[in-house]
Amino acid sequence: MTIEGRDDTAQARIRLGMVGGGEGAFIGAVHRIAARLDDHYQFVAGALSSTPEKAMRSGAALGLDPKRTYGDFEEMARRERRLKDGIEAVAIVTPNHMHAPAAAAFLKAGIHVICDKPLTTTLKEAKKLAALAEKSGLVFCVTHNYTGYPLVRQAREMVRAGELGEIRVVQVEYPQDWLTENLEATGQKQAEWRTDPARSGGGGCIGDIGTHAYNLADFVAGQQVAELSAELTTFVKGRRLDDNVQVMLRYANGARGLLWASQVAPGNENGLQLRVYGDRGGLHWRQDNPNYLYFTPFGKPTQILTRGGAGAIAAANRVTRIPSGHPEGYLEAFATIYTEAAAAIRAARTGAKVDPAVNFPTVDDGVKGLAFIEAALQSSRRNGAWTKLG
Amino acid sequence: MTIEGRDDTAQARIRLGMVGGGEGAFIGAVHRIAARLDDHYQFVAGALSSTPEKAMRSGAALGLDPKRTYGDFEEMARRERRLKDGIEAVAIVTPNHMHAPAAAAFLKAGIHVICDKPLTTTLKEAKKLAALAEKSGLVFCVTHNYTGYPLVRQAREMVRAGELGEIRVVQVEYPQDWLTENLEATGQKQAEWRTDPARSGGGGCIGDIGTHAYNLADFVAGQQVAELSAELTTFVKGRRLDDNVQVMLRYANGARGLLWASQVAPGNENGLQLRVYGDRGGLHWRQDNPNYLYFTPFGKPTQILTRGGAGAIAAANRVTRIPSGHPEGYLEAFATIYTEAAAAIRAARTGAKVDPAVNFPTVDDGVKGLAFIEAALQSSRRNGAWTKLG
Amino acid sequence: MTIEGRDDTAQARIRLGMVGGGEGAFIGAVHRIAARLDDHYQFVAGALSSTPEKAMRSGAALGLDPKRTYGDFEEMARRERRLKDGIEAVAIVTPNHMHAPAAAAFLKAGIHVICDKPLTTTLKEAKKLAALAEKSGLVFCVTHNYTGYPLVRQAREMVRAGELGEIRVVQVEYPQDWLTENLEATGQKQAEWRTDPARSGGGGCIGDIGTHAYNLADFVAGQQVAELSAELTTFVKGRRLDDNVQVMLRYANGARGLLWASQVAPGNENGLQLRVYGDRGGLHWRQDNPNYLYFTPFGKPTQILTRGGAGAIAAANRVTRIPSGHPEGYLEAFATIYTEAAAAIRAARTGAKVDPAVNFPTVDDGVKGLAFIEAALQSSRRNGAWTKLG
Amino acid sequence: MTIEGRDDTAQARIRLGMVGGGEGAFIGAVHRIAARLDDHYQFVAGALSSTPEKAMRSGAALGLDPKRTYGDFEEMARRERRLKDGIEAVAIVTPNHMHAPAAAAFLKAGIHVICDKPLTTTLKEAKKLAALAEKSGLVFCVTHNYTGYPLVRQAREMVRAGELGEIRVVQVEYPQDWLTENLEATGQKQAEWRTDPARSGGGGCIGDIGTHAYNLADFVAGQQVAELSAELTTFVKGRRLDDNVQVMLRYANGARGLLWASQVAPGNENGLQLRVYGDRGGLHWRQDNPNYLYFTPFGKPTQILTRGGAGAIAAANRVTRIPSGHPEGYLEAFATIYTEAAAAIRAARTGAKVDPAVNFPTVDDGVKGLAFIEAALQSSRRNGAWTKLG
């Protein structure tokens, strides 16, 4: 167990700001808990809403200094860079269309970025942002949070170590049911912006959760998708973006994949699951009970690998906080992304090398996500034609 | 509980013959148990192998009268039709390429047919056989046995009753792992013929288990597939037929489906499972624990419906033998197909009407299976082009 | 897979009669299916009800020769012994109080006995019957059917082979919910006799299902219970026998056990499960999904052993009919008891030795069951005093 | 979803100290994360070890001001009370024998106490401490953390609302396997003190995890245990305290219970689970997958209630942070205890009334735990004699 030393630190905590995440938001609070859980950050500034009064009210509710509660992210970037104890990193948790301009503003201000996904609303914009990030030399973390689960990391390492042999088949899915009806028509805020092309980009379900599924498969299977054939469907009348996504994947090594994401599958809450099969074994992991990983070496009984338990390996144990049998969940996995980014940000303070074990999704993963979305949109428009990823 | 009266009958049992199913076969014994379980059949004649000595030896081992142990099915059909107490029905359990000629021979002899799947090796042959069957007026049952599970029948009736609303998404899969390696090269009999185009037809995995998945989805969702896009892959070097199958489905009503079948997915034994989603609810059923059906009315908690338990409906209860909590399995479901066919065969004895509750897969389901196989083969050859079902 | 040769046999089938199991009975039909499934028996005579007209009607419904449909078991024993092709074995499936007299009558007639459990209504009667059985040299099988599950046999062999080390803890339970309300007051036949001391004996829940749990633990753990402390409770007003049973067990080797059986636990259908722990490993098996056995070698990941799958051993495979992943259930396990008894009965025809692999519960297991019931009743009456088994 | 406002607060955070929890401890870090997760506390002082150098080193590692890093808890209590910004609350996370003296010292200093369980090592000491706590008027929270799980709270409220009817049967268990071998002999710190009567008190397994099981059953079933019969066993040679615990419970209302706790059951990590049955329904909850609660209204299908999902009620939702399907775990449940205590501590600042929805285990629950331990020890010594709780 590596809990001591993970949650606590003698080194000064990282000063963190936030863009978005005010009143009525969902993911902002998740980011704040994630930042706090291992005690590597202190939250000191925010542009929490695009509506100024709401921004002020949200800042007050969260105990921010009113002087560091900003009406917009540009002002925040401009002023924080000048403060002696200005923020070192910013979390961007707005609707998708604001990710790129906000991230660019903070990169230009020399501030590290932790940005929600999908990275941007277009691949072009994503690539531009990635170039800017690279030039800046700053840390740029994209919160593909499911890669923070210890057993997802274990799965990845087992694949890399060859325990599955050559990868042949990848089955990944992310079904939900919350958009089974026309929820956006009721004014529900989350539904509204996530089904609005102006704020979400051209992908609905595929951007919101399809990219998570894609990222998870990419992270674990470690294979490059060469081309895909996609069928995007909108089932709910009046909805402006896709709410069900089927994608067939061809990997560069010859493996085949199927990705299914849906927001209209009653009985599924956040049913992300991944199965990977090679010529020597198979793996199965589900987010709704994430402390167990099913591993079958071909021809032998399936083993239940538990987080922190017998068979858990170093890559999983270094991001594990509590003993096996005591479940960790979504917030802990999210916190791990923040804690990994913190290691990189602290290293940047002194120019030290980042520990090679540190692992978090970067702007490049964000670009991959947009390449996936755009290829899928294009394929679907072209009646499922096999389409290469940009 | 309807167990009394199901397994026992005052009416004379149906005289049954078998083609195939001798030494070394797997499915023949399953058919014999299935025929016996509810006591509607007596097994009295067989052409159990295409090798005469093996046929005789197998017949002796099964206690058949040597006079009714035949060296080939044609002799059997010819002679049994002339016997006063000749067989009334025949079970055909050979490799696929023999289904059509054997079935035709018995139909012509006025004998009811219970035939394994896939019905034939080509769609053309299947249609011809179906025409012959229709003309004959005889019972023709195709053993898509998974439709015999009580909760599969319950699922079907719930869909028909509108409990799921309009169907939108169908997810069906049938993964196995037994062909992960080149088992056919070792001389294993089952692997040999199932990967041999001459005996299996043009489809490998898709014919052997893909058709089961397709049939199950068809049976439950009750929607017509308009067109499909398929990706058939052969992963094992030297294998002559597909061993991994991905299919995207477009239903006539606008629903979308994904079908995955694989013989190379380590950790999966016979992992058939079906999920169906409509605008009012969702259903989930798995063959490996078939006595439970998960039903979610949208916006309400998921319910666990049990075979014979609270919430079980008439269509399920009439094919249920024992109380809930005592598991029934594969053989019982298979027996139900035989028992349902027996009801039709007995009705044919007297020209009576068949009870409308009786339900078994017919030659038409067999034709549908071949239409699916051929469309998938064609689509896959044409790089996944959307292909209508013939 | 050993399916061929299991269900079929060149040797003449065993002529079987039945006492009880007529109209309205539950377990009679189960016995008939079990006898038929592997084709070792033919059902030819019966005294199916203590009401003569019902006996005749039941016999007719089951296709029995009216001459061999008897009004009572004594007449049946007397007449069948004189027939040239009289029954060789009888299945006794009456309420408990009739087991002893019926079994004695058939033993005296030189007919093998297959008897439902509990063996009798008192320990004294059970011992007397066992003595009679021993003297007769006939086969006496008691249908503690759960020992017929392949993975229960595997569990037993793993314990015997030392894979768990020295046994320390046994947790066994059998909860049901069907008697949560006063069902017997409604006239439901099963509830009526099972809660009637005159027909069930002094134990209600403990006799009906507690003995199954006890037998299962005994079969697998292979340890002798030295003494027990029991708390039997009747929750439903007006009920005459216990409906909830708690027992603490002290084994001769120092192990400790807990047994819980209940008929008033809503949500449990037939929730029999067993967990056994030793100083080297643990095992977990559940009847509601009986094709999986969870085995944990201490300090290593839990393994999922599947019926017929990787890790399945000979003792399990010899009673397995179909491939792993295709579930077998309650009827197959019950059939295995019949098939094992058939091996002994056939050996008795010729005086041959019974294959040592053959394994079925005998009259001695029946005696053990009564010893358990009586010790528990006595302990409970004495406020849970630790009581030795008689 | 009530996440906004839960993790953040405009009111000043509570100044928290800690006794114990330095280098090599396990539970100290858990308490610190729990205190931090919802942002209601700031950790500012500690007497983290009874070894002064270790205390200083631990304080430094955690970023404490060296002036507020104390060598013993008495000095800490004395000095903190005099500071203007001294701690308002202390977390006591030492081995059991130190709980009482430490808690007393802080109560006397006017500082609120959050204390690990079991409360003390004797019932007498527990009652004395409770009296002191009551007199002080201060908040005294005992971290029976499993009551912080949202669905445990839901279960409790469902019982209180009568959804199960009159409670009849309670089955609770907490098996582990980490002490299967003589781990304390290897010098492992956790094993050492937990098996040492001088530091743990007279109960081993029963104190460490049996009390958690007892508390969980007490919290949910809401019935008073009148008397118990216990069998405590020590399986590992050389171990000085019990490592397997069986207890039969008689409730005042006539209900019956079984409690099993074990540290020697291979395959169990922290397998806490609870089942409660009444005359109208049943409930089942497991800690290893805590986001699901199985509820069966008698005669109807079992429902899967999910944290935050359909069917979740106010008592569960107010302690839920993230949407259903995204798992929360052990740390979140632990944090909920801290957050609930924070509400009481803040109310105490101003003399305000505590919101009646606030719910955390108090010193009285701690006393109940000791009453349970002592009755069980006494019963076990007296060969399982039924023993009333003190």
Q: Which of C150, C158, C162 is nearest to C306 (CA)?
A: C150
Nearest neighbour of B168 by CB, restricted to A264, A294, A299: A264
Interval A67-96: pLDDT, tens: 999 999 999 999 999 999 999 999 999 999
- Are the Cβ atoms of C386 and D384 closer than 8 angstroms? yes
Beta-strand pair D281-286/D273-278: antiparallel
Q: Is residue A175 part of a domain?
A: yes
Q: Residue D5: pLDDT above 60? A: no
Is there a contact between B310 and D301 if contact means CB atoms under 8 Å apart?
yes
Residue A170 inside a domain? The answer is yes
* Minimum distance, in Å, between the CA of residue A171 and any CA atom of chain B: 9
**Closest chain D C-alpha to A24 CA, distance in angstroms:** 8
Residues B40 and B79 both lie in one domain: yes
Is pLDDT above 70 for A42? yes
Closest CB from B246, B266, B295 relative to A282: B266
pLDDT tens, chain B, 390 aa long? 334 444 445 578 999 999 999 987 889 999 999 999 999 999 999 999 989 899 999 999 898 999 999 999 999 999 999 999 999 999 999 999 999 999 999 999 999 999 999 999 999 999 999 999 999 999 999 999 999 999 999 999 999 999 999 999 999 999 999 999 999 999 999 999 999 999 999 999 999 999 999 999 999 999 999 999 999 999 999 999 999 999 999 999 999 999 999 999 999 999 999 999 999 999 999 999 999 999 999 999 999 999 999 999 999 999 999 999 999 999 999 999 999 999 999 999 999 999 999 999 999 999 999 999 999 999 999 999 999 998
Pick from A93, A111, A145: which residue ends a domain?
A145
B199 and B169 inside one domain: yes
pTM of this prediction? 0.97
Is the residue at B195 inside a domain? yes
- Which chains sit next to C, with 3 or more Cβ pairs under 8 A? A, B, D
Nearest CB to D323 within list A61, A270, A306 = A270
What proportion of chain D, given as a percentage, has pLDDT over 70?
Answer: 97
What's the pLDDT score for residue C1? 34
List the chains bordering chain B where 3 or more Cβ pairs fall under 8 Å: A, C, D
What percentage of chain C reaches a pLDDT higher than 70?
Answer: 97
Which of C235, C248, C283 lies at the smallest CB-CB distance from D246?
C248
- pLDDT (0 to 100) of residue B2: 38
B269 located within any domain: yes
Partner-chain contact B303 D305, CB within 8 Å: no
Smallest Cα distance from B22 to chain A, Å? 28
Residues B312 and B164 in one domain: yes
pLDDT grade, residue D9 (50/70/90)?
low
The total of structural domains in chain A comes to: 2
Please say whether the beta carbons of B176 and B335 come within 8 A. Answer: no
| Judgement on whether residues B25 and B83 belong to the same structural domain of the protein | yes
- Of D164, D235, D267, which has the smallest distance from its Cβ to C168's Cβ? D235
Long-range CB contacts (within 8 A, 24+) of C95-100: C95/C20, C95/C193, C95/C194, C95/C199, C95/C200, C96/C120, C96/C121, C96/C199, C96/C200, C96/C201, C96/C207, C97/C121, C97/C198, C97/C199, C97/C200, C97/C201, C98/C19, C98/C20, C98/C50, C98/C73, C100/C125, C100/C126, C100/C128, C100/C129
For D216-225, write each residue's pLDDT tens digit.
Answer: 999 999 999 9
Residues B145-168 as b/e (b if ≥16 CB within 10 A, e otherwise) read bbbbbbbbbbbbbbbeeeebbebb
Query: Is the model's pLDDT at C333 over the cut of 60?
Result: yes
Q: What is the pLDDT of residues D361-390, one digit of tens each?
A: 999 999 999 999 999 999 999 999 999 998
Asked if residue A339 belongs to a domain, the reply is no
Confidence tier at D4 by pLDDT (50, 70, 90):
very low
pLDDT higher than 60, residue D169: yes
Do B165 and B141 fall into the same domain? no
Amino acid at A299: G
From A129, A145, A161, give the residue that closes a domain. A145
Residue D7 to residue A32, Cβ atoms within 8 A: yes
The CATH code of the domain that includes D59 is: 3.40.50.720
Nearest residue in chain A measured CA to CA from D268 = A325
CA distance A370 to chain C (A): 39
Cα distance from C175 to chain D (closest Cα, Å)?
Answer: 11
Report ipTM (2 d.p.): 0.95
C301, C305, C306 ranked by CB distance to A310: nearest: C301
Q: Provide mean pLDDT across the span A217-232.
A: 98
Cross-chain Cβ contact B275/A281 below 8 Å: no
pLDDT range class, residue A25, cuts 50, 70, 90: confident
Q: How confident is the model at residue C10 (pLDDT cuts 50, 70, 90)?
A: low
Closest-CA distance, C288 to chain B, in angstroms, reads: 6
Other Cβ atoms less than 10 A from the Cβ of A63: the count is 15
What does pLDDT average to over chain C?
Answer: 95
Give every strand in the sheet of A41-47, ordered side by side: A41-47, A14-19, A89-92, A112-115, A140-142
CA B189 to CA B168: how far, in whole Å? 41
Instruction: Give pLDDT, residue D379.
Output: 98
pLDDT, tens digit, 9 for 90 and up, residues C79-130: 999 999 999 999 999 999 999 999 999 999 999 999 999 999 999 999 999 9
Query: In the predicted model, what is the mean pLDDT of chain D?
Result: 95
Q: Are residues D116 and D140 in the same domain?
A: yes
Q: In what order do the strands lie in the sheet with B14-19?
A: B41-47, B14-19, B89-92, B112-115, B140-142
Strands, sheet with D14-19, edge to edge from the N-terminal-most edge strand = D41-47, D14-19, D89-92, D112-115, D140-142
Is pLDDT at C314 greater than 50 in this prediction? yes
Residue C243 lies in a domain: yes
Q: pLDDT grade, residue A29 (50/70/90)? A: very high
Strands (E), B198-291: 225-233, 244-251, 256-262, 273-278, 281-286
The pLDDT score that the predictor gives to residue B10 is 54
Asked whether residue B230 falls in the same domain as residue B293, the answer is yes
B244: left (phi over 0), alpha (psi -120 to 50) or beta: beta
In this structure, what token pair is assigned to residue A42?
A: 């202190």
CA distance B275 to A68: 50
Question: What band does C2 get if pLDDT is binned at 50, 70 and 90?
Answer: very low
Judged by CB atoms closer than 8 Å, whether chains meet at B288 and C291 is answered as yes
Residues D122 and D194 in one domain: no
Is the same domain home to C177 and C308?
A: yes
CB contact under 8 A, C304 and A300: no
Match 């029995």 to its residue by tokens: C64
Asked if residue A286 and residue A169 are part of one domain, the reply reads yes
So what's the pLDDT on residue B269? 98
Which amino acid, one-letter code, is at B163? E
Banded model confidence at residue A11, pLDDT cuts 50, 70, 90: confident
State the pLDDT at residue B11.
75
CB contact under 8 A, B61 and C8: yes
* Domain harbouring C273, CATH code: 3.30.360.10
**Separation of CA C234 from chain center:** 24
CA distances from D161 to C217, C267, D167, D274, D294 (A): 38, 19, 12, 18, 17
Same domain, D127 and D151: no
**Which chain D residues touch A62 with a CB distance below 8 Å?**
8, 10
D60-94 pLDDT, tens digit per residue, is: 989 899 999 999 999 999 999 999 999 999 999 99
pLDDT surpassing 80 at residue A4:
no
* A&C contacts, CB < 8 Å: 34
Query: Hey, are the CB atoms on B36 and C37 less than 8 Å from each other?
Result: yes
* A104 and A167 together in one domain: no
Q: Which residues of A touch B179 (CB under 8 A)?
A: none
Residue B3 confidence (pLDDT)? 41
Contact call for residues D325 and A288 (beta carbons, < 8 A): yes
Taking CB atoms and an 8 Å cutoff, what residues of chain A touch C299?
310
Percent of residues, chain C, with pLDDT higher than 90: 94
Q: Is D333 within the bounds of a domain?
A: no
Interface of D with B (CB under 8 A): 294-295, 299-306, 309-311
Tokens 């089938």 locate to C13
Among A92, A121, A145, residue at a domain's last position = A145
What is the nearest CA distance from A169 to chain B, expressed in angstroms?
Answer: 7
Domain-embedded: residue A234: yes
Domain ranges, residue C55: 14-145+357-366
pLDDT, tens digit (0-9, with 9 covering 90-100), for A301-334: 999 999 999 999 999 999 999 999 999 999 999 9
